[in-house]
Structure 1
Amino acid sequence: MPSSAETARVSAPLRSPWSHVAQAAAALAAGMGVGRFVYTPILPLMHARAGLSAGAGAHLATANYVGYLVGALAGILVPALVRSPALLRASLIALTVSLAAMPATHSTAVWIGLRLLAGVASAVIFVIAVSSLHSHLREHPAHLSGWAFGGVGGGIALSGLLVLALRSVADWRAAWWASAALTAILAIVSWRLRPEPAPAATAAPAGSAAGAPALRTRRRFGVLFASYTLEGIGYIVAGTFLVAAIGQSSPGWIGSGAWVLVGLAAVPSSALWARLGRRWSRPGLLLVALVVQAAGIALPALIDGVAAALLSAVLFGATFIGVSTLALAAGAHLRFPRSVALLTAGYSVGQVLGPLAVTPLLRHGYHQALLLAALVVLTAAAAAAVLRIGYPHHGVVVRQGAPVRRPAPAEATADADGGDA
């Protein structure tokens, strides 16, 4: 006969995973959509009304990305951090305060410090939220995690709408205060998010085969790592300067409106790419997504006008989270040790290098910077094309100690269908 505990588990109603999805989406919207990316639509206002130079604007962006790298490395080196609800809440508070404090000064040095703090807090929030999703939604369909990652796009859209509404009636200070208020609301929604539980003791997995297969895996992962790092360099240039670039050749509201479109296109993109990854080769899909993203980044630099700007926003928004989804899933499928952590670190380093690489070009406007970013993303696509050659389309998944062979596109979705924005 079943035990009383088993009976209780059977009779207890199943908790809907959507509440967890909503809390994680709110955390990602706060940490990434607002905390990291609200700077993009506010940057033109700070150029025009706060005396911020193009070079100083790039330095503020770099400081934020350095902070993000520090926070991501902390999560890798001290795994217990990702299981701390107190740290999640402290990071949400620190992020809100860092946004609210931006209008309190005109000092570039203080702004750099605040954006550095915001980067650290954003990374901690991201790592905790993603770890929570992967642990608590492991047995649920992969598209649920995809919708949670859509919170990044939702945060981008909401913050873009705020800046768009305020730009004609208030100044850059009000935009920062409004973004802090939005972050506080999202923090309240995500306040009770359950982090990843402590891992249970498990038997060590069987060792991988030595020799040529292990060497091939290292080479394939090296190509994937190069592709994803290059994507970090290229995408962040557009993620930082796209609104300002569009504003140079279009009416003022078009830049902020385009950023709202970026967010709206990003909301369903991760779930969509996750579904496609169950049917087609991930390296092939990664190649397609990177080529489409490169076209979206280059478009406003090559063609003036509202239509080109809006199409650029849709193409960029529909791919930048999807690229992370596909790359992390491909790394997990290769079964390379700590693949997600290593890919995230490479991506973060790329985000630090991106603004620094294009700073010398900004004295001539943003078009040259966008063209260089598009070229870098195309190079990432070329690496994805190399990865596609000989990619193992079948692999072994270990479940409860028994190896099971199954098609590659359906693997690793529970562990890696999320991404770093």
Structure 2
Amino acid sequence: MTARTDLDWNGGRESWEMTGSTSTEWLIAMRAAATLAAAVGVGRFVFTPILPLMQTQAGVTPQLGATMATANYLGYLVGAVAAILVPVLGWTALAMRLSAVSVVASLAAMPLLTSPEAWIALRGIAGGGGAIMFVAAAGAVLNGISPRSRHLAGWAYGGVGAGITLSGAAVLLVALIGDWRIAWWAASALAAALTTLGWKLINPQPPGVTVPPPRKIPRPHRWFVPLVIAYFLEGVGYIVAGTFLVAAVTAAVPGPLGKATWIVVGLAAIPSCVLWAWLSVRVSHPTLLTTALGLQAAGMVLAGLDLGAVAAIVAALLFGGTFMGVTTLALDAGRHLQVPAAVAILSAMYAIGQTIGPVAVAPLLANGFHTALFTAGGVVAFSAVGTILLRIRYPHPRISLPSAAVPNPEPALQR
């Protein structure tokens, strides 16, 4: 089998132009986007813009904020592991809908309780419900959208960016007229609306979608193990910026710009997933993962340098333009490598990383967020170095085309 370079392979370009996406695939993508927006964009990440409000109005310390964030990620870990041990949780409508209700309810209950222990517990509940929703949405995308329509997966994962943008804008408006309590209630209402849009996502046999069986890849674990390690390190590093970026920028750039940073992150995340998915048809997963992780690490370091408003915006664009792109690429690579329960395994390792990240940097927060962001950037850079190992004879996915177009449909090995 001939080894090829990243840009030699153009089968993906031909399939992109020759094949259309069905209306059912679009419907799956949009419902998945709404589900991910509620579970992750709001359920998890609304805490980022609300944290500065809680610090000034409710007396939340950076250390308590880190603990609340850790509780959310620990809950996410529990949910992801549960989806591995009890796979039915990841593909039944009942499990997904109960998880969605738990996320909405936990957001609504935050203003009703005032003890740190209660806040920590509620953030954990939101994390567990969000994990089940994420696994369900990712499974619906990977199983219901054919490889030749993989750009739709980008639109689905872009729902996280939409949720971040909407919740960030809602919190920004609430800050002008209300307090942190109203911000949580607004987040709950937004999550409820998004959940309604994704309510009918789970459909075991979506009509009109035929995903051809992939070619068997021998010994996929030789690539899957480095992928899991890199994704774990990404979880450790990215979540520090995901939790403290707004607080760090607000401290360095007081005023509306600091509070609007999270909206910039969300706006960058929406099209980024589509862009990375589009690029994955032309360039190998390892190359794109290395690029995305390198850019993300640079953005984290830039955010910690306190170089002013322009630097803060650039840092937000780099972070927003890569963090969900990495997820899109990693989950697509896991699907391609045909490892059983790849989504749940990757999600669980990501969740372990997310749980470790805030705890690891908590001692560094006493004098601000700079050292924590530098440390996180270093971890993500190390993850980028690790993805280079994936390039060793990586079996690049080849989209199925008519036999006349592709006489040999085997995966093309990438160096």
TM bucket, shorter chain: 0.7 to 0.9
In the alignment, is residue 349 of structure 1 matched against residue 357 of structure 2? Answer: no
Partner residue, 2:114: 106
1:82, 1:195 within 8 Å by CA — same for their partners in 2? no
Match in the other structure for 2:8: none
Q: Which amino acid aligns with 2:73?
A: Y
Which of 255, 258, 276 is the equivalent residue of 2:258?
255
Matched residue, 1:36: 44
Question: Among the aligned pairs, what percent are the same residue?
Answer: 49
- The residue type equivalent to 2:170 in the other structure is L
1:23 aligns with 2:31: yes
Match of 1:370 in 2: 373
Q: Secondary structure at the match of 1:304?
A: coil
Cross-structure match for 1:132: 140
User: Partner residue of 2:5?
Assistant: none
**CA distances 1:324-379 after superposition (whole Å, capped 9, x unpaired):** 12222333444444433322221111011000100000111111100000000000
Q: Distance in 2 between matches of 1:48 and 1:286?
A: 38
Whichever residue aligns with residue 36 of structure 1, its letter is: R
Selected match of 1:267 from 267, 270, 276: 270
Q: Secondary structure in 1 aligned to 2:333?
A: helix
Contact 1:299 1:312 survives alignment (8 Å)? yes
Higher deviation after alignment, 342-351 or 54-63:
342-351
Residue 306 (structure 2) pairs with residue 298 (structure 1): no
Measure, in 2, the Cα distance between the counterparts of 1:129 and 1:332.
14
State the partner residue of 2:94.
Answer: 86
Query: What does 1:230-245 correspond to in 2, within 5 Å?
Result: 230-245=233-248
Q: Which segments of 5 or more consecutive residues in structure 1 lack a partner in the other structure? A: 1-13, 199-203, 398-402, 410-421
Matched, 1:327 2:335: no
Contact 1:95 1:117 in 2 (8 A): yes
- Once residues 28 and 223 of structure 2 are traced to their aligned partners in structure 1, the CA distance between those partners, rounded to angstroms, is 35
Counterpart residue type for residue 67 of structure 1 = G
Q: Cα 1:250–1:362, aligned 2, differ >3 Å: closer, same or farther?
A: same
Q: After TM superposition, give the deviation of residue 396 of structure 1 in Å.
A: 11
The aligned amino acid for 1:37 is F
Q: AA paired with 1:150?
A: G
Q: CA deviation at 1:121?
A: 0.9
The whole-number CA distance in structure 2 between the counterparts of 1:351 and 1:124 is: 16
Match of 1:322, as an amino acid?
Answer: G
Structure 2 counterpart of 1:364, which letter?
N
Cα distance, 1:394–1:155 mapped onto 2, change above 3 Å: closer
Distance (whole Å) between structure 2 residues aligned to residue 228 and residue 241 of structure 1: 20
Secondary structure class of the residue paired with 2:183: helix
Shift of 1:140: 5.6
CA offsets 1:189-226 (integer angstroms, 9 cap, x no match): 1222234459xxxxx999976xxxx4xx5443322222
**Residue matched to 2:391:** 388
Counterpart in 1 of 2:412? 407
SS of alignment partner, residue 410 of structure 2: strand
Larger CA deviation: 385-394 vs 187-196: 385-394
8 Å CA contact retained: 1:32, 1:122: yes
Q: Distance in 2 between matches of 1:263 and 1:141?
A: 24
Q: Pick from 51, 54, 60 the counterpart of residue 46 of structure 1.
A: 54
- Considering Cα pairs closer than 8 Å and 6+ residues apart, tell me whether 1 or 2 has the greater RCO: 2
Query: With structure 2 as the length reference, what TM-score do the two structures score?
Result: 0.86
Say which SS state the counterpart of residue 167 (structure 1) adopts: helix
